[in-house]
């Protein structure tokens, strides 16, 4: 298939600041879908025709020009991309290979997956695992992979189903739904915390034994330790929620942290760590070894395989701006797959 001279992409660019923006040092950004060329893309040894991407909260932040996420302009956001190799200058990767792209810089400081073509360094390219389709990989994407990392950490800390309840915060988001479903599949009793009251029954069908509100995970008292409730926690929101669930973690529990939608500060004492032996595990899906990444993807493709029916909804590139608005406003439920080409 010939390489197109022009192709569609969602691009975020800096635009001229207003007088007020100059005074507040706040640049303005414009995000639009437009035609670009290969020459507009960042350099790399491998060119991929992108079939699918997916929408993560981090993509919404990049698309709005968030300075901690979008680190160059113009930028094609999209931290996930799955497709077929069109050209390769690396002998490990052949034209026609079915691949996905994963790296911390993809979609942040290097043009990402919200375009019909992606050009990246060869070391960022991975083969689609046997037994998975391109769409299946996109559905899991960074969100599902992050959930799998979190579950793996809980298991590595010798927390078994008999240890007690596992809490998943932000359970109706992309990472949360995978964490709930996967933990339930592995036999854990899952308590899902969500701000979407209308999704209670859906979360129970997904595998949650109980569903609680956000407020039921929060404690704004000065008490350094709360009654131990959780044998393990997959926290996707950060801030005061993360501090509260650490204080309420049981003896020798494991709390994983992968998000900051509720804030990036963590206000608590050392007591949960030195009196209860609580482990706080940060989850970084971007900067891990190739071997570690593929070992976990092979587990996802086999013994951790999930029925994704009802997990996801699919949109096309032209619908993406509206979906980005929803995810930033907390109005998006489940997993959004983006069909690119």
- Kindly provide the residue ranges of all beta strands, DSSP E only, lying in the chain, ordered along the sequence: 7-15, 28-36, 46-55, 81-88, 98-101, 117-120, 125-127, 166-168, 190-193, 210-212, 230-235, 249-257, 279-282, 312-316, 335-339
* pLDDT value at 26 more than 80: no
pLDDT band at 203 (very low <50, low <70, confident <90, very high): very high
Structure confidence at residue 15 as a pLDDT band (50, 70, 90): confident
Q: What architecture (CATH level 2) is domain 7-128+311-339?
A: Alpha-Beta Complex (3.90)
17: pLDDT strictly greater than 80 = no
Query: Which of the following CATH numbers is that of domain 143-282: 3.20.20.300, 3.30.43.10, 3.40.50.720, 3.40.50.2020?
Result: 3.40.50.720
State yes or no: pLDDT of 2 exceeds 90. Answer: no
Give me the residue spans of the domains in the chain: 7-128+311-339, 143-282
- What is the predicted pLDDT for the residue at 51? 98
Cβ-Cβ contacts under 8 Å for 68 (sequence gap 6 or more): 61
Backbone angles phi, psi at 119, to 5 degrees: -120, 120
Residue 252 has pLDDT above 60, yes or no: yes
- Cα gap 267→124, rounded to integer Å: 36
pLDDT tens for residues 136-160?
999 999 999 999 999 999 999 999 9
Backbone angles phi, psi at 287, to 5 degrees: -115, 70
- The model's pLDDT over 72-92, given as tens digits with 9 standing for 90+, comes to 999 999 999 999 999 999 999
Tokens of 299: 């587990």
């Amino acid at each position: 298939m010939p390489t197109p001279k022009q192709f569609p992409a969602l691009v975020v660019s800096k635009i001229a600041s207003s007088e007020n923006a100059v005074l507040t040092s706040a640049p303005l950004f414009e995000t639009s879908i437009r035609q670009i060329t290969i020459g507009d893309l960042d350099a790399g040894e491998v060119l991929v025709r992108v079939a699918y991407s997916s929408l993560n909260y981090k993509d919404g932040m990049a698309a709005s020009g968030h300075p901690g996420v979008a680190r160059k302009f113009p930028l094609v956001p999209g931290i996930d991309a799955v497709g077929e190799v069109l050209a390769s200058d690396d002998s490990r990767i052949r034209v026609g290979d079915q691949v996905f792209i994963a790296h911390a810089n993809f979609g942040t400081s290097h043009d990402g997956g919200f375009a019909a073509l992606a050009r990246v360094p060869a070391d960022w390219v991975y083969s689609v695992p046997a037994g998975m389709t391109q769409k299946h990989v996109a559905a899991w994407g960074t969100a599902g992979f992050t959930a799998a990392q979190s579950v793996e950490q809980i298991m590595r800390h010798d927390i078994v189903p008999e240890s007690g309840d596992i809490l998943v915060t932000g359970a109706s988001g992309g990472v949360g739904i995978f964490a709930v479903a996967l933990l339930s599949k592995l036999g854990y009793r899952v308590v899902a915390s969500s701000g979407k009251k209308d999704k209670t029954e859906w979360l129970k069908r997904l595998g949650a034994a109980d569903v609680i509100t956000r407020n039921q995970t929060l404690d704004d008292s000065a008490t350094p330790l709360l009654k131990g409730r959780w044998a393990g926690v997959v926290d996707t929101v950060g801030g005061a929620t993360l501090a509260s669930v650490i204080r309420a973690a049981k003896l020798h529990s494991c709390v994983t942290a992968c998000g900051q939608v509720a804030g990036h500060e963590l206000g608590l004492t050392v007591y949960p760590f030195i009196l209860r032996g609580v482990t706080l595990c940060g989850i970084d899906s971007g900067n891990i070894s190739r071997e570690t990444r593929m070992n976990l993807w092979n587990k996802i493709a086999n013994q951790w395989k999930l029925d994704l029916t009802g997990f996801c909804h699919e949109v096309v590139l032209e619908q993406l701006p509206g979906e980005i608005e929803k995810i930033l406003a907390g109005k998006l439920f489940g997993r959004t797959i983006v069909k690119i080409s």
